[in-house]
Chain A
Amino acid sequence: MTDGNNDHILRSKEISFIFDGVSVTGHDGETVAAALLRGGITHLRNAPNSGTPRGMFCIMGACQECVIEIDGRKVEACRTTISEGLVIRRVPDV
């Protein structure tokens, strides 16, 4: 994701969180989906049966493709906001 030449957009301070063991930075209060996209991480999990890679798709909480795991709970990356030190992991393949 890019802000391109949009210097006139002022964002909140950068914080870091952990995605599958890797530290990723994002702006405080943005969604996990936005922060991961900014960090170039699009492959969030593998589909059952076909095993094909999946990432965020509808970005409005309907398709369930961007589901991630926080504290053992499955949540949609597009509807969950990041905070400093948040630990996220990929949903393991079943």
Chain B
Amino acid sequence: MFDAIVIGAGPAGANAAIILSENGLKTALIDEQRDAGGQVWRVKSKSILKAPITEAVEQGDALRDRLKSSNVTAKFNCRVWHIERQENGHWQLSVVGDSEKKLTTKALIIATGAQERVIPVPGWTLPGVFGLAGATALFKEHMMAPMRRTIVAGNGPLLFYVASETLRLGGRVSAVISLNSRMDWLKSLPAMLSNPALIGQGLKWIFTLYKNRIPIYWQHAIKAVEGENTVDGVTICKVDQDWAPVAGTDQYIHGENLCYGQGLMPAVEATRLAGADHHYDEKLGGWVPTIDQWGRTSMSGLYACGDNAGIYGALAAPIRGSLAAEAVCEDAGINLKKRVDSKKLKAAKNFGLAATALTIPRSGLEALITDETEVCRCEGIIRQEIDFEIKTGAQSPNAIKSGTRCGMGPCGGRYCMEAIALITQHRTRKTREEIGLPTARPPLRPVTIDDISDDLDYDDLPIPGVSPL
């Protein structure tokens, strides 16, 4: 039994765990990666023996060092697959990859970070198409860039990071395709000025692209990814203010890889499975648990911090981790010296919100999803089937899921539900809040029966009374 368990060892979760443990709480930190750092400070692969130190590596290493010298029980390569609230108000986690199959705790902090929003277009399922955030995982973990030519497309700041990092790691970039216009960026500058250092970094990325003569297509979208078994290139088109494709503006660009994404969304599966209230807030990246300023959710003993509680970004994450730790300590009756600099948090949040604002989906996006586009990658469900389901009366993600199997595959609907919502919104004019999300179900990741149970003698199976005759 732990006093506190933190799920997710990114900057928010790991920081929260360290603070909790410093305050005498018996704390565990769980992550499915092999060490702390999350996506933003992702730990390098063991295959990298020596490499130049970057700022992200420094920050990540500092966090990992702090964690190692703390009393936190770190459980890495460990996955939580179910979360249950016990009758006494404690939390029970079912896990794989640990010597224990169940862990219990009085307080539970969920810090599962973000997941990527990727708008389906024809060909987006081809091998050679990676999520933008997926590409950053390759950079950080393996210090590799895609081979041959890479096209980088989508929106927000991640575009320019991925393109310039591809170049830095020796890759080639054909083009950057940005949904955002130059004007979008200019508008977001004042809010971003709260962090001149990061602005400088962003400018450096863009400068790298100009220096390498990489064409940037502002206010353009991927219309289709072309190729038979792998990517040969993409067809792009201009988009209007709402990001709807403009007819007659198609162009073809050659490339063998496409890094593609439209921003980050809070990864809320865990807080939803736990049963907390959520609401939709586009400024925060989508559905978020409803929390107070420290990160208390609607359920006692359940806290959320980091990007999964709203995409405020990596700068704000450690501070939000501190806040959640403060709340846990306070609720446990421990007097904690306040350590959060609210001015710093506000500046970090403003910067994060400005970056997130560039990625808020606009109404035209759904028009990029053609009739024949596979919306649900797992089940191969095309848009036409979803439209038909809505036309014949399905009004919610649950109903669409039941009728079409969209979202019933191994990814659990993570990569199709955003598109389903955009399509439903377009067809029904309902708000995202009204459309809602499908019911949260375990397991959080696919598990085998062997993963979650021990071998048991048949006679030891706890068989309850037989069914009535």
Residues of A whose CB lies within 8 Å of any CB of B are: 1-6, 8-12, 26-31, 34, 37-38, 40, 42-44, 47-65, 67, 73-74, 78-79, 81
Contacts and interface: CB of A to CB of B under 8 A. Distances in A.
Nearest to A34: B142
B99 interface: no
Nearest to B381: A49
Tier of interface size on chain B: 35 or more
Interface string B155-168: 00000000000000
Given A56-B130, A57-B131, A9 B411 contact: no
B365 interface: no
Contact of A4 (B32, B171, B445): B171
A29 B127 contact: no
Interface in B117-158: 125-131, 133-135, 137-138, 141-147
A67 B410 contact: yes
A53 B144 contact: no
A2 B134 contact: no
B446 interface: yes
A72 B93 CA distance: 27
B45 A30 contact: yes
Nearest to A4: B170
B414 to A, nearest CB: 6
B50 A9 contact: yes
Given A37-B147, A52-B380, A12 B134 contact: no
Given A5-B170, A60-B39, A55 B142 contact: no
A11 B49 contact: yes
Nearest to A64: B410
Given A30-B47, A37-B146, A62-B115, A2 B374 contact: no
B127 A43 contact: yes
Contact of B137 (A6, A10, A60, A64): A60
